[in-house]
Structure formats: C-alpha cells, structure tokens
Structure 1
Amino acid sequence: MGDSSVTGGDRFAFYADRRRRSFVKVAGVVLCGGQSSRMGSPKALLRLGEETFLERTVRIVHAVVQPVLVVASSEQELPPLVLDDVAILRETKDHEGPLAGFLTGLTHMTDAVDAVYLSSCDMPLLKPEFVRRMTESLGDFDIVIPKTGGRFHPLAAVYHKRVIVRAIPLYADGHRRMTTLLDNHRVRVLEESDFADIDPGLDSLRNVNTPEEYAAVLARFQ
C-alpha cells in the first residue's frame, strides 16, 4: 500500500475530532449473493433469534448509515426487508465475487453519497458502534479497513466513492478480491486496539462460514 496507511502511535489522533471530520455522507452496501458452499445452505437466510442473518445485518448497518443497498444474486431468495431507505439490487452476473457486488452497489448510489460502509451478511455479531467507529474514521482517506491478526477485513470497511476510478479497470482486468483496491489509495488501517472500547472481543469481525461456526454463534444466544 505504500506510505499512505496509518498505524502505530498516531492511530488515536483522529478520535477527538472524528465527528468534525465525518462530514461525508456515508451509505451502506450489504453483500449477500455468495454461494455459501461451506455452509451448505444460504447464509442470508440463517436465523439468529427472530431475524435472518440478512435482516439483522441490514438493521444494524441501517441504524448508523442510510440508505442501505442490498446486493443479491439474480434469483436469490431473500427475507422481507421493511426498513425505509433499504433497496435490493440484483447482480447481472452471479457469483462474480465481492468486487463485482461492491461495484454494483457503488454505481447505484446517488450523488448525495460520498462513501459506503461495505458489509457481508455473514457477520451476525456486528455492532452498530463498530460501524460508527469505521465511518467516523474516514476523514480525507479513500479507504478505512480493519486489520486483525495480520489479516485485512475488506468486507467490514469504508470506501470513498472515488475508489470507483480504480475499481472498474481492476474488475475489467479479472480481479475479484476487494484487497486489490488497497494499492494506489490512501488507506487508514484500524487494528485491534482501535476497537478495545467498543468491541473488545472483535465480534463484529466474526463471520460464519460453516455449520460449526453457526452452532457456536447460536450457543451464545441460548
């Protein structure tokens, strides 16, 4: 990523004035069109309490940013999404990867939106405080992304709309991973300690891919 990322001792410098710096209008994009091959059934329809994973994710993201666009595959079954400022977009080519879904959502945002918080639908323990911390950290950067255990989490990140200039040719060249966007952009990296006060267990980054992981999440709510 070059020298544009921010880590280390200055990672808290922006917190005191983050409300002043968060003047950009942030919307939400929730991806749910994956194949769920390891789960064996559609993850968007898995239930946690009275909500499906998708309903829960949309509700939490919507509590912080609006509008929220849900990007689904062309024939995908979805639960009813009844919140205001929530719309469903259907991909023209299914299972093209998260970069394709991201571009679908980003290109349908109105001119009033400056940036988007991107989420997958398989993080059922997402906290609104996490979404708020991410969106308030954008400032003048192109991307804000969490990094834990040496791993980036591009499906829990904030992207300014100007990244589309780079994202479209990357997709056209065959790239499908969101992490390809980290090059040639000004990136702010948030690490574990940046969430210690709001999500010390980093539950917001815990995605569910297998029946065993699903059972573990269910056990916490019984």
Structure 2
Amino acid sequence: MVKHQKHAKLQRPNLGAFARNEWALLGAPCGVIQQLARDIAIQLNSDHAVTFIDERHLKDGPAPVPASEPFQARWTKHADAVELAERSMPNSYSAKFQLRSSDIVLVNGNHFLAQQQIVCVHPKKTLSHKLDRLTQVVGYWLAPDVTEIPAYLKEHVGNANLPIWRSGEEVELAAWLKDKMLADRPPVKGLVLAGGKSQRMKRDKSKLAYHGKPQHQYVAELLNATGVEDVFLSCRSDQAFEDAKIALLPDTFMGLGPFGGILSAFRSDPNAAWLVLACDLPFLDAQTLAFLLKHRNPSKVATAFYNPETDFPEPLITLWEPRAYPRMLEFLSIGNSCPRKVLINSEIELLKVPNLNALKNVNTPEDYDAAVAELKVQD
C-alpha cells in the first residue's frame, strides 16, 4: 500500500534551530557566556551580522510587552538603534524568519539547543548532566586557570583533535568561526533565463546565434567555464529545446517572468546560490562573470552590477544568495514580482562592472542587427 503524501515534498534549506551558521556556547555561567559572545561579536560585526540568542535574565534585555498593553509588539527608537519587545517568544518557525539575515548566530547553550557546540570548560559549571546537548562539538574554550578538559567530556565527545581556545584567545576563536562560515558557504549554481516569450523580438531570443551557436548554449558555456557546480536552463513548461545540452528547469512559479524563474531555481535547491544570466546579453564575457564571482559577498542578499544607464542594479546578471529566496517571497506576498526592486530594497553587494558593454541587452530585431554588426567589427 502506497503511503499517502499529505504535503508537497519540498527541498528544505539547511537550517539548524535558528540559522545556517549557529554555535551554542555552553558549560560556563551565563554571565561568562554573555561576555564571550560579546567578545566574539566585536571581532566579527564590522563585516558580518552576529546575533546572540539568550534567555532573558532579570537585568538583561528589553522587558516583554505587559499583558495590560494593547500592543502585540513594541518598537522603541533610541539614538542609534530600535529595540523590539514582543508579547510572546518566537517559535521555531518565526525565529528562522527573523534571523535569516544573520551570518552567525551564537546561542547560550545553557538554555537553548543549537546544531553545533563550543564547550566552555569552567570550574563553576559541569555538563555531566547535559551530555545529550553535545551532539556536534567543534571545539573547547577554557576559562582562566583551567588547563585540562575533564575526562567525562573527552570520553563523550571522542574527538581528540578539536581546537582549544583559552581565555584571552577570543580573536582566534572569532577568526576560526569566520573561516568555518566561509568554508561552508553555499555552492554556486548557474541559471540561464530562457523562458521569455520574446514578444518584441518576434522570435525566441534564446535561440538567436551571435557566436555561431544558440545564445542559451553560449551563455551556459560561459557559466560552465567559471566553474559553477551545475548549470540549468530556466524555461516555460511548454517550451521545447531539442538542442539543449544542459538540464532544463521548468518554471514552477507561473506567469512571473524572470522572477518566477529565479524562485523556481531556489525551490529546486534552496541551499545553493544562483548565478542568474539572461539569454539576451550577446556582449557578456567570461571576464565579467569571473569578476562577479571574485567579489561575491555571501553575507548579502545578492552580488550585482550597477548599471549607470539605468542608475539601478542589474538583476539578470546577478549572484543571488540563498537568503534571497525568502526575501523574494516576501515581495511576492505584497504583489511585487520585480527582481530589480528586490535588489534596490535589500542589502546587496553592488559592483562597478569592468565592461559596461556586457550589460547591453537585445530586445528587438533592430537591436539584433546592430549587435551582430558590432560583434563582427570586434572580431
């Protein structure tokens, strides 16, 4: 008997209890853990967004909204920050929504679980009764005057080669966390947008030949040359590509143009960054793509080129990070399906394009004739 599938089987992002990159600090008094988290964040927050998850202690943090107040949440503006107090704690879903812009999440492991753990060895605390929290220990931090890791921890954790940081080595600990985050950054996949109806061109733009082959094939080869993990051809479900030498990725978000193609790519793999290229860019070159990848910033929603002719970011030569997926869905939920507006209203890495001609797109038969003539002159 086939088991009934109640819900759609979707690819899920690789998130822990709170975020992609999360580490619990546990095994020391809460005040020590709070200071350790602050010391780490000081080293990282100039380049990366660090969040600390902690229980509210009596003298710490904003007071929750009292039941007598009519507000669900209260925003209090200070000179340089906005304090948010909510009536109820976020659940496991809303916490992930709220923390998706965080690069690193540090967790007070005395109160909350996290995917990975850094064990703090402190004379005033023992973890002998909390060993079940140690599921993926990545290192130890030793408090002042502590010289050895207790035998019970060595026996439980088992890995004798884990790094050890001593009190005063928070700079080294922060550097290790940063290197780990960068090493685990999402892989890049390529997406050639070929699902447009080419109404102004009056024939399929993806099959025009500027370089002796269909343009979708040429762009795919450019992507392959950059060393991205896989390349896909974004298309409508009713399109035929008998000559396609790359995998097709039909739209699952219908009627949304390029926006739907990008969302469909993230739906197929929400754990990849997607280097998205339109198929109407005959002057695009390998050097421009290499420049984009070299200056990738995984801490942003996307890395894109500034187009001086439009005075806006160029959305269809853009490296979209996994955090762009929920951001785009937010825009869709308020009735907006413009990739450019997502870029304009999000934290992005905006680059000056080394070859301005690479941004030139071709939409009409007249544009096509002019592009072919220009490319002949260049040859």
Q: TM-score, normalised by structure 2?
A: 0.47
The match for 1:119 is 277
Query: Where in structure 1 are there 5+ consecutive unaligned residues?
Result: 5-19
- Contact 1:69–1:89 under 8 Å retained in 2: yes
Aligned-pair CA distance for 1:189 = 1.0
Among 191, 210, 214, the alignment partner of 1:52 is: 214
Residues 54-93 of structure 1: matches in 2 within 5 Å? 54-64=216-226, 65-82=228-245, 86-92=246-252
Q: In structure 1, the residue corresponding to 2:240 is in which secondary structure?
A: coil
The match for 1:96 is 256
Task: State the Cα deviation string for residues 60-99 of structure 1 (Å, max 9, x = none).
Answer: 11211231121101111325232xxx42111246542211
Are 2:347 and 1:205 aligned? no
Letter of the 1:207 partner, please give it. N
Are 2:301 and 1:142 aligned? yes
Q: In structure 2, the residue corresponding to 1:153 is in which secondary structure?
A: strand
Structure 1 208/184 Cα, relative in aligned 2: closer, same or farther at 3 Å?
closer
Q: Distance in 1 between matches of 2:322 and 2:253?
A: 22
The match for 1:34 is 196
- Contact 2:191–2:276 under 8 Å retained in 1: yes
The match for 2:151 is none
Task: State the Cα deviation string for residues 27-66 of structure 1 (Å, max 9, x = none).
Answer: 1111111121111111011112420111111111121123
The match for 2:327 is 166
The match for 2:342 is 181
Q: TM-score, normalised by structure 1?
A: 0.77
Structure 1 93/104 Cα, relative in aligned 2: closer, same or farther at 3 Å?
closer
Structure 1 69/210 Cα, relative in aligned 2: closer, same or farther at 3 Å?
same
Question: How many pairs are equivalent?
Answer: 192
Q: Distance in 2 between matches of 1:138 and 1:146?
A: 11
Are 2:377 and 1:217 aligned? no
- Contact 1:100–1:171 under 8 Å retained in 2: no
Larger Rg: 2
Runs of 4+ in 1 over 6 A off after TM superposition: none
Q: Distance in 1 between matches of 2:250 and 2:229?
A: 19
Task: State the Cα deviation string for residues 173-212 of structure 1 (Å, max 9, x = none).
Answer: 32111023225632111124xx1xxx2xx22211110111
Aligned-pair CA distance for 1:221 = 3.7
Q: In structure 2, the residue corresponding to 1:220 is in which secondary structure?
A: helix
RMSD: 2.4
Q: In structure 1, the residue corresponding to 2:315 is in which secondary structure?
A: coil
- Contact 1:125–1:206 under 8 Å retained in 2: yes
Q: In structure 1, the residue corresponding to 2:276 is in which secondary structure?
A: strand
Q: Distance in 2 between matches of 1:178 and 1:110?
A: 17
Task: State the Cα deviation string for residues 107-137 of structure 1 (Å, max 9, x = none).
Answer: 21274x3x11111111122111111111221
Larger RCO of the pair (alpha carbons < 8 Å, separation 6+): 1
Q: In structure 2, the residue corresponding to 1:161 is in which secondary structure?
A: coil
Q: Percent identity?
A: 24
Letter of the 2:332 partner, please give it. Y
